[in-house]
Amino acid sequence: MNKSQTAATNTKKAESNSSQTMNKTSFKNKAPGGDRLAATGDSALDIARNLPNDPALIQSDKRFRAVFSAAPIGIAIANPEGYFLEVNRAFSKMLGYSKAEMKKLTFVDVTYPPDRKKTQKLSEAVRKGKINTYRIEKRYLKKNGHFVWGIIRATAVKDAHGQIQYWLGLVEDISERKLAKEALEESEKRYRMLFEHAAEGIMVLDLKSRRFRYANPAICKMLGYTEKELSNMGVKDIYPKTDLKRVLRKFKAQTEGEKRLAQNIPCLRKDGSLIYVNINSTRIVMDGIECNIGFFQDITERLKTEDALRESEEKYRNILDSIEEGYFEVDLAGNLTFVNDAACKLMGCPADELIGINNQQITSPQTAKKMFKSFNSIYRTGRPLHVQEFEIITKNKIKKHLELSATLMRDSEQQPIGFRGVVRDVTERTKSQKEKERLASQIQHAQKMESVGTLAGGIAHDFNNLLMGVQGRTSLMMLDTNRSHSSFKHLQEIENCIQKAAKLTKQLLGFARGGKYEIKPTDLNDLVENSIQMFSRTRKNITIFKKYEEKMIGYEGSNRWKDVAYYKPLFSKQEKLT
């Protein structure tokens, strides 16, 4: 026999027993239908069918049936074994069964499995007479397999012998309330966890008494007090007396909603030491009391770090401003982001005019390309740039030569963000170097010319000795030759050539070593002509075009000086041409 057949059989037995009981029991009073139900043990429908033809009883039964059907809470009547005899609409709807389906089930059947043991235990206590009723909060199993929370008030209706005739159950659906309560408990648990494990200190202040109501572990640790100690303290107990007025002004502004954040507030710890906090607060109502909840952030270490950083920055800024070398910082695009005083002085303009300027604006195109190549190498390799010379153009369009050393700047994640470097003005040194090179070239040229002069002097000296020999022999030949002889003219011509050659060697000796000066009137045209004749004999690959002034004013001077004065420029010019 299956469960449904068993339920049907039990129901028929219960109805048969009820009918027999009704026939054996007389109505001792005319109480309403509910009392008659308790007295007879019959179901409501059975009583309706078996009521005497009494208008008052009929009217009372109608009222009972109306209340039973329209009750907002579930009402169920079950036989001693727990099978439902009657259920109202609210209970059927609550579990999703029809009334017919409910009559095949017991109270245990519709109880959620984990809660059945507790329900059976209480029912057994009622059967044994230990208790008459019970109230329990439990879960009911719906037809769709889900559960619903309810509170049941179960009462056993017994006969005169103490035997259970019926079970009467009143069931209230509390699912929504239960879910709301669970949500509230979960929320409270979550916020309690946040409150207790928050890294920031949290305190709740009673605005009226200005006493602390709650304190989390973080604020207790921050101030060195226990939660109990803080609950007996107020606003005036945790701030230094010297700062109390200022703190209270900020506290008032917070409570009145003018501001929420109070910064750099000094707080006294239990051991007397001082810490600094930022307090972010808001106004709330807690347990019907107006409160202010404050979130305390300890910034003591941060302030110490900021002070140390500020001192360090000031120290290095003083160093940068006192050094003679220019210091600069640029971003990756080459725009200046920082310069020291020396760099401003070097460029001839204040810092606010330099900041933001690109390096291409203060250099020539050639120098800009050179700079890009050098800084690109720093970016790619990470290796610093050692001393390299660049030319810049100042605000006043003055070109200056700088020696530059630079390195790559990185952020906290080691990503390149720019370059920093030092520059030194070497303009004067560069000019001195160029002047030194020019003077060295001149000295080299003078030494070269001196060597040429020495060589020319040696040649002239040897050549003069040869001329003396030739002249002596020519003179002897002329003494032995008659003037009318045809050879005499040739000998005279040879003597003239010897005199010209002697004059030439004399000029060469004067060019080489100088000598005594003989001051006498000189025609400049003759001087130029003689110089050209001498120069043209040494450089036959050079063509000389001559144009003389017809009325040239003469001057007084030394032939030796004038030879040097005119020969030396000519030799210098031809040296450059070659």
Query: Worst-scoring range by mean pLDDT, 113-117, 158-162, 397-401, 568-572?
Result: 568-572
Provide the pairing of β-strand 84-87 with 74-78.
Answer: antiparallel
206 alpha carbon, distance to own chain's centre: 40
Beta-carbon count within 10 A of 40 CB: 22
- What does pLDDT average to over the chain? 80
The DSSP letter of residue 481 is S
Q: Are 21 and 41 in contact (CB under 8 A)?
A: yes
pLDDT in tens, 292-307: 889 999 999 999 988 8
* pLDDT for 274: 93
* pLDDT for 310: 87
Query: Worst-scoring range by mean pLDDT, 3-17, 242-256, 507-521?
Result: 3-17
* pLDDT for 551: 65
> Using CA atoms, how far apart are residues 302 and 431, in angstroms rounded to an integer?
53
Sequence-distant (6+) residues with CB within 8 A of 323 are: 340, 342
pLDDT in tens, 47-96: 445 545 667 777 777 777 787 888 889 999 999 999 999 999 999 999 99
Domain boundaries, the chain: 3-174, 198-303, 323-425, 515-578
* pLDDT for 376: 92
If you average pLDDT over residues 35-41, what whole number do you get? 36
pLDDT in tens, 186-208: 888 887 888 888 889 999 999 88
Provide the whole-model pTM. Answer: 0.43
Question: Is pLDDT above 80 for 11?
Answer: no
First to last CA, the chain: 138
**pLDDT band (50, 70, 90) for residue 516:** very low
**pLDDT band (50, 70, 90) for residue 224:** very high
> Using CA atoms, how far apart are residues 88 and 349, in angstroms rounded to an integer?
97
Question: Is pLDDT above 70 for 460?
Answer: yes
Share of the chain above pLDDT 70, in %: 81
Between the CA of residue 146 and those of 97, 136, 478, what are the distances in Å? 13, 19, 160
* pLDDT for 535: 62
* pLDDT for 38: 35
Between the CA of residue 431 and those of 380, 427, 428, 441, what are the distances in Å? 34, 6, 5, 15
If you average pLDDT over residues 528-533, what whole number do you get? 71
If you average pLDDT over residues 388-399, what whole number do you get? 86
* pLDDT for 40: 37
3-state secondary structure 483-499: CCCHHHHHHHHHHHHHH
- In this structure, is the dihedral angle defined by the CA atoms of residues 339, 341, 342 and 347, taken in order, positive or negative? positive
198-303 topology per CATH: Beta-Lactamase (3.30.450)
Question: Is pLDDT above 70 for 100?
Answer: yes
DSSP one-letter string for 35-78: HHHHHH---HHHHHHH--S-HHHHHHHHHHHHHHHH-SSEEEEE
Query: Worst-scoring range by mean pLDDT, 24-28, 236-240, 479-483?
Result: 24-28
Question: Is pLDDT above 60 for 23?
Answer: no
Rounded to 5 degrees, φ, ψ at 337 are -115, -20
**pLDDT band (50, 70, 90) for residue 133:** very high
For helices 427-480 and 486-513, angle between their N-to-C axes, nearest 10 degrees: 160
CATH number of 323-425: 3.30.450.20
If you average pLDDT over residues 452-458, what whole number do you get? 73
Question: Is pLDDT above 90 for 389?
Answer: no
* pLDDT for 228: 92
Question: Is pLDDT above 50 for 515?
Answer: no
**pLDDT band (50, 70, 90) for residue 14:** very low
* pLDDT for 287: 84
Q: Decide if 3-174 and 323-425 have a common fold.
A: yes
If you average pLDDT over residues 324-343, what whole number do you get? 90
Question: Is pLDDT above 80 for 151?
Answer: yes
Question: Is pLDDT above 60 for 569?
Answer: no
If you average pLDDT over residues 155-173, what whole number do you get? 90
If you average pLDDT over residues 32-55, what whole number do you get? 46
**pLDDT band (50, 70, 90) for residue 9:** very low
Assign domain 3-174 to its CATH architecture. 2-Layer Sandwich (3.30)
Rounded to 5 degrees, φ, ψ at 524 are -65, -35
